[in-house]
Amino acid sequence: MTNLPGKGVISVDIVVYEGFKALEAIGPMSVFNYANHHLERLGLSGRYDVRVSAVHAGEIRSDTHMSLCATKTLDLGALPHTAIIVGAREIEDALAAAPEIVEWVRAASHQLVRTVALCSGAFFLAAAGLLDGKRATTHWALAPLLGTRHPAVIVDPDCIFVREDKLWTSAGVTAGIDLALALVEEDFGRNLALEVARDLVVYLKRPGGQSQFSVHLSSQQSQHPGIRGLQDWVFANLDKRISVADMAQFMVTSPRNFARVFQRETGMSPMVFVEQARVEAARRALEDGTLPIKTIAMQVGFRSYEPMRKAFLKWLNVSPQAYRSRFGSTLASHTPEEREERSSGVNG
């Protein structure tokens, strides 16, 4: 932390409205609060001045029993350095109830140093036209809706957060903490951001994207009756060897025609679907059970650990062992078989 230049006061407005997600507001506020603590401890001049802002001042109810008191109203004459618009569970209702936020951010964005949207807050930026032609992310479950409602936005459904010049967007809920840490790193350096991350017991940069948290194949289920039936058959037979020829035989068509129709209906090749289906089945087994990882690899059709490890790194950017450590039952990592696998280095 030596030779860190003082930045002065960086004003941050947390923009809320009725039904906002409480954690998305409190998480970044805590990041900035801890940052201020360390800046003061180190005798540095910089600090964050964080205000809660809304269309009207006063108590604003969140999606929990907690409310926040907005001490500042949206005012083009008193803009902050950084504006952070939080998300809501019912984002379309929130947009309809608070069109003033869309108008404010449209008018204010060119004067703000940073405009940030957390989770479904990206819909406010998209409605204002700020994300047209730009990459953005949101909660994985809302990414298809964002793309449908605003086709000019380049939606990246896997990123934890995305920066496009002055515009920042984040994935769901706790990803707002990741983004806030990135702001601290930009403002005051990596060492300070790392100190805050340690305080909060979170990654400074968490491994993997939000596909780790989503049901990866949910959006790939076809509405075509024949293809849907074939997909169900694949799910039921993952332990067996499955080829394009096998799937074409199930569909009673040629492999070439089958591959063409499958790609058209699902947006992916048949063998990519099979691999993702195996990853999905392995994920559920890692989350819910205590079977050794090598056994799971056999049961879902990978045949051995190494192909499953490569598939996990390809689609989720984590190893199976890291996935189980993060999302599995607390019992899973304490089985004798799992300890043996870890000690042998098979899960690296």
Q: Quick check: do 9-211 and 218-343 share a fold?
A: no
Q: What is the pLDDT of residue 343?
A: 45
Distance CA 212, CA 225 (A): 29
Give every CB contact of residue 26 below 8 A, 6+ residues apart in sequence. none
Q: What is the pLDDT of residue 130?
A: 98
**What is the pLDDT tens value at each position of the chain, 348 positions in all?**
333 444 799 999 999 999 999 999 999 999 999 999 999 999 998 999 999 999 999 999 999 999 999 999 999 999 999 999 999 999 999 999 999 999 999 999 999 999 999 999 999 999 999 999 999 999 999 999 999 999 999 998 888 999 999 999 999 889 999 999 999 999 999 999 999 999 998 888 776 677 767 655 654 566 788 898 999 899 999 999 999 999 999 999 999 999 999 999 888 899 999 999 999 999 889 987 789 999 999 999 999 999 999 999 998 888 999 888 877 765 554 454 444 444 444 444
Q: What is the pLDDT of residue 2?
A: 35
Distance CA 305, CA 347 (A): 8
The domain spans of the chain are 9-211, 218-343
Q: What is the pLDDT of residue 205?
A: 78
Amino acid identity at 157? P
Q: What is the pLDDT of residue 323?
A: 86
Q: What is the pLDDT of residue 214?
A: 67
DSSP H stretches of helix in the chain = 22-41, 91-97, 99-108, 122-127, 143-149, 175-188, 190-200, 225-236, 244-251, 255-266, 270-288, 293-299, 305-315, 320-327, 336-343
Count of other CB atoms within 10 angstroms of residue 342: 15
Q: What is the pLDDT of residue 1?
A: 35
317 Rama class: left (phi>0) / alpha (psi -120 to 50) / beta? left
Give the position of tokens 């499958």: 262
Q: What is the pLDDT of residue 341?
A: 47
Q: What is the pLDDT of residue 332?
A: 53
Q: What is the pLDDT of residue 67?
A: 97
| Backbone CA torsion sign across 152, 123, 157, 14 | positive
Residue 245, classed as helix, strand or coil, is: helix
The CA-atom distances, in angstroms, between 2 and each of 6, 44, 227 are 11, 10, 61
CATH architecture of 9-211: 3-Layer(aba) Sandwich (3.40)
As a CATH number, domain 218-343 is 1.10.10.60
Answer for the pair 142, 161: CB distance below 8 angstroms, yes or no.
Answer: no
Beta strand pairing call for 9-15 and 67-70: unpaired
Residue 15, classed as helix, strand or coil, is: strand
List residues with catalytic annotation.
Answer: 119
Nearest C-alpha neighbor of 126 from the set 136, 140, 141, 111: 136
